[in-house]
Amino acid sequence: MKKWSIALVIACLGACEQASTPIQENILPSGVKFIEEVKAQSGKTVIPYKKYTLDNGLTVILHQDNSDPLVHVDMTYHVGSGREEIGKSGFAHFFEHMMFQGSENVEDEQHFKLVTEAGGTMNGTTNSDRTNYFQTVPANQFEKMLWLEADRMGFLVDAVTQEKFEVQRETVKNERGQRVDNRPYGRLNERVSEALYPAGHPYSWPVIGYMEDLNRVNVNDLKAFFLKWYGPNNATLTIGGDIDEQEALSLVNKYFGTIPRGPEVAMPEKPTVTVAEDRYISMEDNVHLPLIYMSYPTVSIRHEDEAPLDVLSSILGGGKTSLFYKNLVKNQLAVQASVSHPCAELACTFNLFALPHPASGKTLADIEKVIRDTLVEFEERGVEDDDLTKVKASMEASYVFGLQSVAGKVSTLASNETFKGNPNYIAQDIARYANVTKADVMRVFKQYIKGQHGVIMSVIPKGKTELIAAEDNFTPPLRSAGVLSKTSSEELVIRKAKDNFDRSVIPTSGANKAVEVPKMWQKTLANGIKVLGTQSIETPTTTLLLKIPAGHYYSDKEKAGVVSLLASALNESTTERSAEEMSNALQKLGSSVSISAGNQYLNVNVSTLTKNLDATLLLVNEKLLKPAFIESEFARNKSNAIQGIINNKKDAGYLASTAYRQLLQADNIASISSQGSEESIKSISLDDIKAFYQQQVKPFDSQLIVVSDLQEKALSKSLDVFSAWQGKGEKLSLVLAEPDTQTGVIYLVNKDEAAQSAIRIGKRSITQDITGEYYKSYLMNFALGGAFNSRINLNLREDKGYTYGARSYFSADKFSGNYTASAEVRADATDKSIVEFVKEIQAYHDNGITDEELSFMRNAINQKDALKYETPRAKLGFLAQILEHDLTADFVKQRANIVETITKEEINALAKKHLNIADMFMVVVGDAKTLKPQLEALGYQVVNYDI
């Protein structure tokens, strides 16, 4: 089912009125116009806000939320890849990168540095229709964020140099390599869009663009694109959080009010997309499993038929109650199958896909027939009452859960304003889905799917052309090869702001507001479950995490993966109801329950509206105490797990992580992923699952972390549902011996014709602690590889353009730990990347941290508190750490004191102790026949390694 991403919609229920400083129209700053105010209303679904426009056309939306001392700032420009020209693809995404590279008053990389040092988070995203930039920071850093956003809106062009252009072009190429070209099925959406949309349609090229387009253009083409689309009159600035509205509006006017308007731009037309006959296309890829993908054009975002089409996609392919699950997955014709209906501003598509199971012996043509037969079955089945009930319950839950973060509320307001000109569009969104009828769903099925034509894409393993659904009968028109651009700077019309203040002065920040650690309550249930909880009254929701000491480490190496298969079994049928009935019951409550295997724990995650808590916990209890352990379900999950492992071996990152894990550990359970290996999974029987369950899935010493709007007394009563669960599992006794892996060696894993190489450099290191050497080593590494502005990332990504991102980190549990530096790099820069990695690690080992880096680390770490406890999910993670390590909340102060007092000498001593490159080994995944002589030329012994 579609996730309701158009609006992370917020239910403002009951005590949700906002304290607000009223802004009178007659005292508005000059050049600011009040548009509207929407207030909170008890029992109504609404995000309160005030909306303004500046004389230059900038739309400003303010949402006051004083529940946490933080502010979220979102700048959304109504431009995406759908505003680009033929032959100039990728410009909008390219500017997502360029807008972080400094402007006239912001130095190169300073945007990242200032936000990180402020204890904040930041990012930018681009899609076909909009680009947004956002920061979440402690409230005292708000003005600085406005200064940064304004400078890149009004003062970017002259700072975009040819050198920056070249470096970011390489970064984009690396991003495409990592996310598209080097990933199994990575070019699927690109190929389908080329075939579905007519030549020149704004959605016929990928958001990331074609690299040959970026290679043809020059820096002035990029500047021209910016000057056309990134003016204030094509932007929405949305601010939410702990703000004084009057002050916020004055600051917005100060920093943005003098930026001149851009040219008036119009939205592209919405051309009707039709396909006269089925278009079959295919592609050979470095994959294990073939894939069939069928895509039909439908409507556009918020069209009246979007909602019933979403319901249709849920019935056909939304989870274990869907027809696709019944006809393709449950009977093991497919490893995976689903249906979706993603929507964008100009067009939506109805997509059906499946990965055939090799054991089924089915070709993609066979699977296509099953899919088409399933559509016929749906028409005969019709729409049932539960179909609509589940969708509406899911909507209600997603709306309420959207209230949990100020970022969610701000992004909803910004999106609604950008695409509808109305931030207050939530009620209409709710009504669209609440009013869907059975007749609506059948109508859209007959109008857009039944008898209609689309694109049928076959992705097949190389050399397996006999598996395709049908012979290709469509070839998209050739793209123009184009010529090198000759756009000159004289053709640009530069706009300049005229100010009465000095923009080069970085705004100062006041004192960081105190952040209260959540108030906690603790108890132990009669059956031995340790409970730690806190109340969070912002939303009527409850989130739980149950950690049962029955993780991967409790199993034998020869049976690695048994816990993962057990988790799959617990997500299937119980003795009381089938897997489909269980899924149906949870969906009707709008609740989420997932069971997964970790190294030390079997984890049960639960999210529910509090009004449905008791009903949800009854189902959780049933899953845990009454698993059916049906042979056919076990066989399907086991077979799918094996196919997943084989398929993962086509992914460079998986190969690198697997080889690295094996080399870090001796021949023990930790050398294998909790998902197991192909060999270990094959050896596991249903009796093994049952035996492990009987031995280990017990309540004693389990940990239950709860965040709810309920008080302790009421919540404790709900937890009584677990009282019948009794028993104590075996204690874990585990020693992870050091391996005999050679240091100073490169272990080379082959991946034929890899567009990128995956690199891991590291060694075994110290085990985890909370306030000791492990934590201090994390602080030590921060400047080297722990932040965007770290030495490693700035070198390999920003200076050299070898990678989309590089990092280093310590990772550990109580049994073992490691230090790792990693990146996915351009294949032709593999050897050069290793040289730079070694240079940076060795230099930090030899010379240590600088005074500036030490100050940066202290500020960045100690100002994060405002973001640590905002949402129930964040609180859950914080409390889980306390319960697992038997801490008091005082550990937060202890860590803050360590950050504040750790000396340069102590950090440098830790660097010398832990960062000796001679103690490390390397794993490289890439095209061995090309890489081996290059790596040997660096002077390393290169060992071919198979996993």
Element (H, E) at 845: helix 830-847
Residue length of the chain: 947
840 pLDDT higher than 80: yes
Q: What is the pLDDT of residue 1?
A: 36
Average pLDDT, the chain: 92
Spatial distance between the Cα atoms of 749 and 187, rounded to a whole number of angstroms: 24
Which CATH number does the domain 520-722 belong to among 3.40.50.1820, 3.30.830.10, 3.40.50.300, 2.60.130.10?
A: 3.30.830.10
Residue 335 or residue 11, greater confidence: 335
% the chain with pLDDT above 90: 79
DSSP, collapsed to helix, strand or coil, labels residue 586 as helix
Contact at 8 Å (CB) between 239 and 51? no
* Mean pLDDT value of segment 434-458: 97
Considering only CA atoms, which of 559, 696, 709 is closest in space to residue 641?
559
pLDDT tens digits for 778-806?
999 999 999 999 999 999 999 999 999 99
Q: What is the pLDDT of residue 719?
A: 96
pLDDT tens digits for 507-547?
998 877 777 888 999 999 999 999 999 999 888 999 999 99
Spatial distance between the Cα atoms of 823 and 803, rounded to a whole number of angstroms: 7
> What is the C-alpha radius of gyration for the chain, rounded to an integer number of angstroms?
28
CA 284 remoteness from chain centre = 28
Q: What is the DSSP string of 742-755?
A: PSSEEEEEE-TT-S
Q: What is the pLDDT of residue 730?
A: 96
* Mean pLDDT value of segment 68-81: 95
Let me know if 507 is exposed, middle or buried by CB neighbors in 10 A (0-12, 13-18, 19+): middle
Q: What is the pLDDT of residue 15?
A: 31
618 pLDDT higher than 80: yes
- Cβ atoms within 10 Å of 108's Cβ, excluding its own: 18
Spatial distance between the Cα atoms of 699 and 65, rounded to a whole number of angstroms: 40
Q: Beta strand pairing status for 121-126 and 70-77?
A: unpaired
Lowest-confidence region among 147-156, 457-466, 585-594, 869-878: 869-878
Q: What is the pLDDT of residue 256?
A: 97
Most distant pair of Cα atoms in the chain: their distance = 79
pTM here is 0.91
Q: What is the pLDDT of residue 481?
A: 67
- 520-722 against 745-944: fold identical: yes
Q: What beta strand segments (E) does 464-537 contain?
A: 520-524, 530-535
Asked if CATH classification 3.30.830.10 holds for the domain at 745-944, the reply, yes or no, is: yes
**Pair of tokens at residue 454:** 């689309």
Please report, as a single letter, which amino acid is at residue 40.
A
Pick left, alpha or beta for residue 402 (phi over 0 → left; psi -120 to 50 → alpha; otherwise beta): alpha
Q: Order of strands across the sheet with 131-138?
A: 32-38, 49-54, 59-64, 235-241, 70-77, 131-138, 121-126
Looking up tokens 């539960």, which residue turns up? 386
pLDDT tens digits for 879-917?
999 999 999 888 999 999 999 999 999 999 999 999 999
Looking up tokens 């990012």, which residue turns up? 123
Please report, as a single letter, which amino acid is at residue 556.
D
Q: What is the pLDDT of residue 42?
A: 79
Please report, as a single letter, which amino acid is at residue 358.
P
10 pLDDT higher than 80: no
Q: How far is CA 587 from CA 266, 507, 549, 607, in A?
A: 42, 49, 28, 12
- Sequence-distant (6+) residues with CB within 8 A of 492 are 157, 220, 223, 224, 227
Q: How far is CA 710 from CA 10, 157, 717, 797, in A?
A: 20, 53, 11, 47
Taking the CA atoms of residue 98, residue 99, residue 104 and residue 108 in that order, the dihedral angle to the nearest 10 degrees is: -60
**Pair of tokens at residue 681:** 């999974």
DSSP assigned state of 266: -
Residue 881 or residue 7, greater confidence: 881
Residue 215 or residue 616, greater confidence: 616
C-alpha torsion sign, points 568, 571, 573, 575 = positive
Q: What is the pLDDT of residue 4?
A: 33
Domain edges within the chain: 520-722, 745-944
Looking up tokens 């190496």, which residue turns up? 557
Q: What is the pLDDT of residue 760?
A: 98
Q: What is the pLDDT of residue 27?
A: 82
Q: What is the pLDDT of residue 269?
A: 84
**Pair of tokens at residue 228:** 């056309």
**Pair of tokens at residue 89:** 């693809």
Spatial distance between the Cα atoms of 610 and 345, rounded to a whole number of angstroms: 35
Q: What is the pLDDT of residue 169?
A: 86
Q: What is the DSSP string of 292-342?
A: EEEEEE---TT-TTHHHHHHHHHHHHSSTTSHHIIIIITTTSEEEEEEE--
Q: Beta strand pairing status for 291-297 and 349-356?
A: antiparallel
Q: HSE of 772 in the Cβ direction (CA atoms, 13 Å)?
A: 6
pLDDT tens digits for 271-295?
889 999 999 999 999 899 999 999 9
Q: What is the pLDDT of residue 6?
A: 28
* Mean pLDDT value of segment 139-157: 95
* Mean pLDDT value of segment 54-74: 95
Contact at 8 Å (CB) between 647 and 357? no
* Mean pLDDT value of segment 557-569: 97
DSSP, collapsed to helix, strand or coil, labels residue 184 as coil
Contact at 8 Å (CB) between 747 and 923? yes
Lowest-confidence region among 113-127, 389-403, 516-530, 576-590: 389-403
305 pLDDT higher than 80: yes
Please report, as a single letter, which amino acid is at residue 609.
L
Q: Order of strands across the sheet with 455-461?
A: 279-285, 455-461, 291-297, 349-356, 334-340
Q: What is the pLDDT of residue 26?
A: 55
Spatial distance between the Cα atoms of 752 and 408, rounded to a whole number of angstroms: 42
**Which residues, in sequence order, are bridge partners of residue 132?**
76, 125
pLDDT tens digits for 822-837?
999 999 999 999 999 9
Lowest-confidence region among 4-8, 62-66, 656-660, 773-777: 4-8
Spatial distance between the Cα atoms of 700 and 548, rounded to a whole number of angstroms: 8
Let me know if 663 is exposed, middle or buried by CB neighbors in 10 A (0-12, 13-18, 19+): buried
